[in-house]
Amino acid sequence: MLVLIADGDSEFLDLERRFLSQCGHDVLIADDGLECASVLRDFSPDMVVLDCGLLWGGSDGIVVRMLEDPRLSQTPVILVADVDPRARYKDIAEWMLIGWLRKPFGMNEFLAQITNQLPSCKLPNRRRAVPKFGTFQGVEQ
């Protein structure tokens, strides 16, 4: 499965990327809203993990952009925030938001949120071309 993680905390972003990669997922990363929008222009991830505090475009702007793009409008999103963010998105895309995680969270909770929310996660992952945007494929040595 191809997962895009957009988070402004570079250390946590790297930890999330390495963990999901080691669990067999292909991972794209973005550390701000502009980079996230750029990645979404070029790729159609199976899921997006989106930090609500994302700078330069914000999570609201990313969700709206995804809704406007037919390739992305059905892509499930897991929000990451300090407090429950669902009310903030109620009128935008409540159906698109399949879960949320409160920071800080453990990696097992992170993986469970992804695999429990999207049945296709349990199927063998599909390999795709991985872009240059600080991405990683496979297990780090």
Domain boundaries 2-121, CATH class: alpha beta
Residues of the chain with pLDDT under 50: 120-141
| Residue 45 confidence (pLDDT) | 96
- The alpha helices in the chain, defined as continuous H runs, are 10-22, 33-42, 58-68, 90-93, 107-117
Tokens of 61: 């702007």
Distances (CA, A) of 126 to 34, 84, 106, 116: 26, 32, 25, 18
Please name the amino acid found at residue 5. I
**Per-residue pLDDT tens over the stretch 75-104:** 999 999 888 877 776 766 666 778 888 888
| Domain positions in the chain | 2-121
